[in-house]
Copies of this chain bind each other. A is one copy, B any other.
Amino acid sequence: MIAMDQFTYRPARDELAYTFGGRLPVAHVRSGDILRVHTEDCFGGLVRGPADLPSQVCRMPYLNPVSGPFFVEDAEPGDTLAVHIASIVPARDWGVSATFPYFGALTSTSHTATLQPPLDERVWVYDIDRAAGVVRYHATESEHTVDLPLDPMIGTIGVAPGGMESRSTIVPDHYGGNLDTPELRAGTTLYLGVNVHGAMLALGDGHARQGQGEACGVGVEIATMTTLAVEVIKGADTAWPRLETDTAIMSVGCARPLEDAYRIAHQDLTAWTVDLCGLQTLDAYQLISQAGRAPIGNVCDPNYTVLAAVDKALIPQSLPAYHDAHARLRNLAGARE
């Protein structure tokens, strides 16, 4: 039987983490626990208005803080950690976005290096209306205002990378991290391969919403109260992050160039489909080629993110994924609301 403890974690400012790996745990949790985690925004809450230019009020490497890590009991290398996102509640009635010098898809960067000057640095403040379910955009140099759907997501979530590595929270990779995909919303279960004893789960970087690719490099950044349910799936390897919703399974690829992220995600989804339903590999490749979706996560972080997704209804799913962890955790979280 799965235990059903619940606890709430609110990090003090100096408890925030800026890496995956290389940190001591802030708490221990067990399979079946419900975690309520306060997360700060990617600027550590320091950008609150047009005058708070990120490059002035923030200081490297103190960007993109995460809450955690949480030591998950019984999680060992070779296992998989299932993390169900039960809810993501914006903690404030505003969010911020910005341009940041030499960061984003439509500017040269530290890596796509040119001799051109950076774009102007600027801050946008959004109103968040939870009741109406909207995020309000305001243009800075004209009067245009428009409401966008509120669609909260966790930008950064992952486990320790293993191999004695410790990686900046700016980076997405095989262990999760700064995935920056809108698919990490409430109702989704994330599967991450465990690389170290205790897994060491951490999360942060909520977005009230973001466009596909997060073109300017920054979503509508928010602090959140995020509720998770976790479970260790013993003896299940997971090479790249995988997602499951009530209707779909998805694989995540993180790499540069962007086509490699696409390749990773689609190769993994093909293999997962083969594992789940016994389709032969080329048959699975063919089905995904016609039925698959490939939502872009980010085109701005040190690795870009692309997902490969297919509806469960389209594959002959004899075995539920990861022993049905998604359904179990969803129900568990629902029972605790």
Contact = CB atoms under 8 A, between A and B. Distances in A.
A301 to B, nearest CB: 12
A141 B283 contact: yes
Contacts of A108: 107-108, 114, 116
Contact of A267 (B113, B167, B294): B113
Contacts of A61: 162-164
Contacts of A279: 139, 141-142, 144
Contacts of A256: 255-257, 259-260
Contact of A112 (B112, B167, B289, B306): B112
A152 to B, nearest CB: 13
Given A115-B267, A255-B256, A270-B106, A122 B262 contact: no
A113 B299 CA distance: 13
Contact of A219 (B115, B119, B219, B290): B290
A27 interface: no
Interface stretch (A16-24, A184-192, A227-235): A16-24
Interface of A: 18-19, 21-22, 60-61, 97, 99, 104-108, 110-120, 122, 124, 135, 137, 139-142, 144, 146, 148, 162-168, 209-220, 253, 255-260, 262-264, 266-268, 270, 277-283, 285-296, 299, 304, 306, 314-316
Q: Which of A106, A122, A141, A287 has the most CB of B within 10 A?
A: A106
B117 A286 contact: no
5 contacts: A107-B116, A111-B255, A140-B283, A219-B290, A257-B258
- Which of A112, A118, A220 has the most CB atoms of chain B within a 10 A radius of its CB? A112
A41 to B, nearest CB: 15
Nearest to A210: B290
Given A163-B61, A270-B106, A290 B116 contact: no
A290 B209 contact: yes
The 10 nearest A-B residue pairs measured at CB: A257-B257, A61-B163, A258-B258, A211-B292, A113-B267, A212-B294, A216-B289, A166-B166, A141-B280, A139-B283
Contacts of A140: 280, 282-283
Contact of A266 (B106, B260, B288, B291): B106
Contacts of A270: 106, 115
A115 B119 contact: yes
Contacts of A18: 163-164
